[in-house]
Chains A and B, each alone.
Chain A
Amino acid sequence: MDRPYQDGSAAVACVEEGGRKGETFDEAAAEEMVAKLRSKFRSGETRNLAWREQQLRNLARMAEEHEDDIMAALKADLGRGRMEVLIEVLGVWKAASHMLKNFKKWAKPHKVGTPLSLKPGRSEVVYEPLGLVLIISPWNFPFLLSLEPLVGALATGNVVVLKPSEHAPASSHLLSRLLPLYLDSQAVQVVEGGPETGKALLGRRWDKIFFTGGTALGRIVMEAASRHLTPVTLELGGKNPLFIDDSADLEISAKRIISGKCTNAGQVCLVPDYILATKDVAARLIPHLKAAIEQFYGTDPSRCADLARIINHSHVRRLQHLVEHAATAACVVHGGESDVESKYFAPTLLLNVPWDAPIMQTEVFGPILTIQTVSGIDEAIDMITARPKPLVVMVFSSREAVRQRFLKETSSGAMVANEIILQAANLELPFGGVGESGMGRYKGRFSFDCFSHCKAAFTKPLGRDLALRFPPSTRRGEMILKAVFRGAYFSLLLLLLGLKKH
Chain B
Amino acid sequence: MPGGGVSEGSNGGSFGSKEAAELVASVREVFRSGRTRSREWREAQLRGIERLMMDEEEAIFAALAKDLKRSRVENVLCETVQVYQSARQSASSLRKWMKPERVSTNFVNVPARSEIVSEPFGAVLIFAAWNMPFLLSLDPLIGAIAAGNVAVLKPSELAPASSALLAELLPRYVDKEAVRVVQGGADVATALLESRWDKIFFTGGAAIGRRVLAAAAKHLTPVALELGGKNPAYIDSSADFNICVKRIAFGMCVNAGQSCLSPDYVLVEESVADQFTDHLRRTLTSFYGSDPKQSPDLARIATPASWARLHALLSDPATREHIVVGGETDEATRYVAPTIIRDVSLDAPVMQEEGFGPVIAVIKVRGLDEAIEIIAGRPKPLALYVFTTQSAVIDRFVKDTSSGAVCVNDTTSHFVNPALPFGGVGDSGMGSYHGKHSFDCFSHRKAVMVKGTLLDFPVRYPPGSLFNEKLVKALMNMWVVQIVLVFLGLK
Contacts and interface: CB of A to CB of B under 8 A. Distances in A.
B408 A457 contact: yes
Interface string A217-245: 01100110111010100101000000000
A9 interface: no
Interface in A431-486: 431, 434-436, 438-441, 453-463, 465, 468-473, 475, 477-478, 481-482, 485-486
Of A113, A440, A470, the most chain B CB neighbours within 10 A belong to A470
A455 B425 contact: yes
B76 interface: yes
B103 A429 contact: yes
Contacts of A297: 462-463
A441 B108 CA distance: 22
Contact of A426 (B114, B405, B430): B114
Given A82-B464, A113-B417, 5 more contacts: A115-B416, A223-B217, A423-B109, A455-B402, A459-B409
A121 B420 CA distance: 12
Interface of A: 42, 44, 47, 81-84, 86-87, 90, 93-94, 112-115, 117-118, 121, 123, 125-126, 128, 130-131, 207, 215, 218-219, 222-223, 225-227, 229, 231, 234, 236, 248-249, 252-253, 255-256, 259, 295-297, 304-307, 385, 398, 403, 407-409, 411-419, 422-423, 425-431, 434-436, 438-441, 453-463, 465, 468-473, 475, 477-478, 481-482, 485-487
B473 A462 contact: no
A457 B448 contact: no
Interface in B353-404: 376, 389, 394, 398-400, 402-404
Given A462-B244, A481-B73, A418 B297 contact: no
Given A411-B119, A470-B246, A82 B446 contact: no
A211 to B, nearest CB: 11
Contact of A306 (B73, B288, B462): B462
24 contacts: A83-B469, A86-B473, A87-B472, A90-B476, A118-B416, A123-B414, A219-B218, A222-B220, A226-B213, A248-B453, A252-B456, A306-B463, A307-B462, A407-B446, A417-B450, A418-B451, A422-B109, A455-B402, A458-B420, A460-B409, A472-B289, A481-B77, A486-B85, A487-B85
B461 A255 contact: yes
B105 interface: yes
Contact of A482 (B81, B103, B298): B81
Contact of B447 (A218, A414, A486): A414
Interface string B71-113: 1111011001110110010000000000000011110110010
* Closest CB pairs A-B (n = 5): A458-B414, A83-B464, A226-B213, A473-B73, A471-B297
B469 A86 contact: yes
Interface residues of B, number: 110
Contact of A460 (B108, B408, B418): B408
Given A83-B468, A457-B405, A462-B244, A418 B453 contact: yes
B464 A455 contact: no
B76 A481 contact: yes
Contact of A427 (B106, B425, B427): B106
B220 A219 contact: yes
Contacts of A87: 472
B77 A416 contact: no
Nearest to A111: B419
B346 interface: no
Nearest to B409: A460
Contact of B472 (A86, A227, A413): A86
Given A414-B449, A419-B451, A485-B81, A82 B469 contact: yes
Contacts of B209: 229
Given A461-B409, A469-B250, A473-B73, A426 B417 contact: no
B214 interface: yes
A261 B250 CA distance: 62
Given A453-B402, A456-B406, A477 B447 contact: no
B367 to A, nearest CB: 19
Interface in B171-199: 198
Contacts of A462: 239-240, 243-244, 389, 409
Contacts, number: 302
Contacts of B103: 426, 428-429
B460 interface: yes
A340 B73 CA distance: 75
B432 interface: yes
B143 to A, nearest CB: 16
A435 B197 CA distance: 9
B112 A419 contact: yes
Interface string B457-489: 000111110001100110011000000000000
Contacts of A431: 447
Nearest to A459: B408
Interface in B294-338: 295-298
Contacts of B449: 414-417, 419, 422-423, 426, 429
A226 B210 contact: yes
Nearest to A292: B461
B352 to A, nearest CB: 18
A459 to B, nearest CB: 4
A457 B456 contact: no
A207 B426 contact: yes
Of A414, A438, A460, A487, the most chain B CB neighbours within 10 A belong to A460
Contacts of B430: 229, 231
Contacts of B82: 485
B35 to A, nearest CB: 13
B198 A435 contact: yes
B12 interface: no
Contacts of A403: 450
A125 B421 contact: yes
B444 interface: yes
A229 B429 CA distance: 7
Contacts of B116: 429-430
Contacts of B206: 229
A458 B239 contact: no
A218 B217 CA distance: 8
Given A114-B419, A462-B244, A462-B389, A407 B295 contact: no
Contact of B445 (A215, A226, A441, A455): A441
Contacts of A455: 398, 402-406, 425
A71 to B, nearest CB: 11
A304 B406 contact: no
Contact of B410 (A84, A429, A460): A460
A486 B209 CA distance: 33
A461 B387 CA distance: 10
A465 B243 contact: yes
A93 B472 CA distance: 13
B51 interface: no
A417 B37 CA distance: 22
A407 B399 CA distance: 42
A430 B85 contact: no
Contacts of A306: 462-464
Nearest to A236: B220
Given A426-B105, A429-B103, A473-B73, A113 B419 contact: yes
B41 interface: no
Nearest to A395: B450
B469 A456 contact: no
A475 B220 CA distance: 49
B121 interface: yes
A221 to B, nearest CB: 8
B167 interface: no
A470 B73 CA distance: 9
Given A207-B426, A412-B446, A458 B297 contact: no
B300 to A, nearest CB: 15
B448 A416 contact: yes
Interface string B221-249: 01001010000000000011001101101
Contacts of B295: 471-472
Of B213, B246, B421, the most chain A CB neighbours within 10 A belong to B213
